[in-house]
C-alpha cells in the first residue's frame, strides 16, 4: 500500500501482530514490512484448516489496514495471496529417477511457522555442493529432527485447541530474547536454547500433545 500520510517507521517491522480479530478455528495475525514512510507490504495471515475465499482474505487485510493500523487514505499498489502447507507430514524429495524437489514442495517449510526461505537456502547449498563433487544431488531435509518434533507438538497443541495460539506466541515474543526466537523460527538454535524456549510454553497442554503424537494416524501429504 502507499499512504497519503507518513505512517510507517522504516526501522521497524511488525511480525505476528495479533490485534486482528481471531477466527473461531485457528489463529490470525498481521505483518507490516515498511519500504518507506509512505509505503509498506501489509499482510494478513490465518492458520486455518481450510482456505478462506478470495473476498474473505481481501476484507480481512482491509480491516487490518483500516481498523488496526489506521492507515487513513491508502492506495493498493499490488496484491498477492498464497497458501503454505503447515504440516508435519513427510514430503517426498525424489519423485523420479532424476527428479528432485526442493522448497515448499520438498519439505523446506518449517511446519509450525511456515518459514521456508532458510530451508530452501540450505537445500540449494547442499545440491550445489553435491553437483560440484559429482555426487547425486539429493536435497536434504533442511530442518533437524528436533525442530520437526517440536513443531509437530506445537501444531498438535494448536490444532486440538489446547493452547491459545496468540497468547502462546505473544508470551514467547515477550519472554524469549528476539534474536534467539528468530533463530529458533529459522531452525538455527542449540539444544539448550530450544529447551529454554520450550519452558516458556504451557507445559501441560504441550506435554499432552507430545505424548499422544506417536499414536495419531498418519497419511502422506497430497
Ligand atoms: C503470503 C506468504 C508469505 C510468506 N512469507 C514467508 C516469509 O516471510 N518467510 C519465509 O521463509 N517463507 C514465507 N512464505 C513461505 C513461502 O511459500 C516460501 O518461502 C517460498 O515462496 C517457497 O518457495 P518455493 O519456490 O519452494 O515455492 P513457490 O514460491 O510456491 O514456487 C513454486 C512454483 O512452482 C509452480 N508450480 C507448481 N506446480 C507446478 C507444476 N506441476 N509444474 C510447473 N510449475 C509448478 C507454482 O506455480 C509456483 O510458481 C510465505 C508464503 C506466503 C504464501
65 and 94 within one domain: no
pTM across the whole model? 0.86
Going 35 to 56 to 111 to 126, the CA torsion angle's sign is negative
Whether 11 and 97 map to the same domain: the answer is no
In a domain, 80, yes or no: no
- Which numbered atom of ligand 1 lies nearest the CA of 117? 11
202 CB-contact burial (10 Å; exposed 0-12 / middle 13-18 / buried 19+):
middle
Positions of the chain with pLDDT lower than 50, given as ranges: none
> The domain containing residue 162 runs over which residues?
85-222
Judge if the beta carbon of residue 114 lies within 6 A of ligand 1.
yes
- CB of 57 closer than 6 angstroms to any ligand 1 atom: no
Kindly state the DSSP code that residue 137 receives in the 8-state scheme.
Answer: -
The whole-number pLDDT of residue 217 equals 84
Q: Which atom of ligand 1 is closest in space to residue 120's alpha carbon?
A: 26
Please indicate whether residue 115, judged by its CB atom, sits closer than 6 Å to ligand 1: yes
pLDDT digits (tens, 9 = 90+) for 32-45: 999 999 999 999 99
Task: Indicate if 139 and 67 belong to the same structural domain.
Answer: no
Reported as a single tens digit per residue, the pLDDT across 63-86 is 999 999 999 999 999 999 999 988
When divided into structural domains, the chain yields a total of: 2
Buried residues in 145-176 as b, exposed as e (16+ CB within 10 A): eebbebbbbbbbbbeeeebbbbebbeebeeeb
Looking at the CA of residue 102, tell me the nearest atom of ligand 1: 26
Residues 215 and 132: their CA atoms lie apart, in Å, by 42
Does residue 67 share a domain with residue 91?
Answer: no
What whole-number distance in Å separates Cα of residue 164 and Cα of residue 166? 6
Say yes or no: 29 and 110 in one domain. no
- With CA atoms as reference, report the closest residue to 103 among 141, 145, 157, 60: 141
In this structure, the answer to whether residues 189 and 90 fall within a common structural domain is: yes
The predicted pLDDT at position 3 comes to 96
Assess whether 164 and 189 both reside in one domain.
Answer: yes
Residue 90 covered by a domain: yes
Amino acid at each position: 500500500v502507499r499512504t497519503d500520510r507518513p505512517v510507517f517507521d522504516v526501522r521497524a517491522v511488525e511480525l505476528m501482530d495479533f490485534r486482528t480479530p481471531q477466527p473461531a478455528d485457528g489463529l490470525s495475525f498481521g505483518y507490516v514490512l515498511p519500504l518507506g514512510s509512505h509505503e509498506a507490504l501489509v499482510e494478513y495471515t490465518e492458520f486455518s484448516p481450510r482456505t478462506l475465499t478470495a473476498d474473505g482474505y481481501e476484507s480481512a487485510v482491509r480491516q487490518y489496514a483500516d481498523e488496526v493500523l489506521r492507515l487513513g487514505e491508502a492506495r493498493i499498489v499490488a496484491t498477492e495471496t498464497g497458501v503454505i502447507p503447515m504440516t508435519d507430514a513427510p514430503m517426498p524429495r525424489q519423485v523420479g529417477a532424476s527428479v528432485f524437489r526442493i522448497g515448499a514442495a520438498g519439505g523446506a517449510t518449517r511446519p509450525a511457522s511456515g518459514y521456508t526461505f532458510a530451508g530452501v537456502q540450505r537445500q540449494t547449498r547442499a545440491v550445489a555442493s553435491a553437483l560440484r563433487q559429482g555426487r547425486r544431488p539429493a536435497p536434504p531435509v533442511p530442518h533437524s529432527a528436533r525442530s520437526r518434533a517440536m513443531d509437530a507438538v506445537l501444531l498438535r497443541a494448536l490444532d486440538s485447541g489446547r493452547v491459545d495460539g496468540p497468547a502462546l506466541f505473544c508470551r514467547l515474543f515477550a519472554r524469549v530474547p528476539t534474536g534467539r526466537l528468530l533463530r529458533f523460527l529459522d531452525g538455527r538454535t542449540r539444544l539448550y536454547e530450544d529447551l529454554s524456549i520450550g519452558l516458556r510454553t504451557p507445559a501441560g497442554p504441550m506435554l499432552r500433545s507430545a505424548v499422544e503424537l506417536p499414536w495419531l494416524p498418519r497419511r502422506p501429504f497430497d
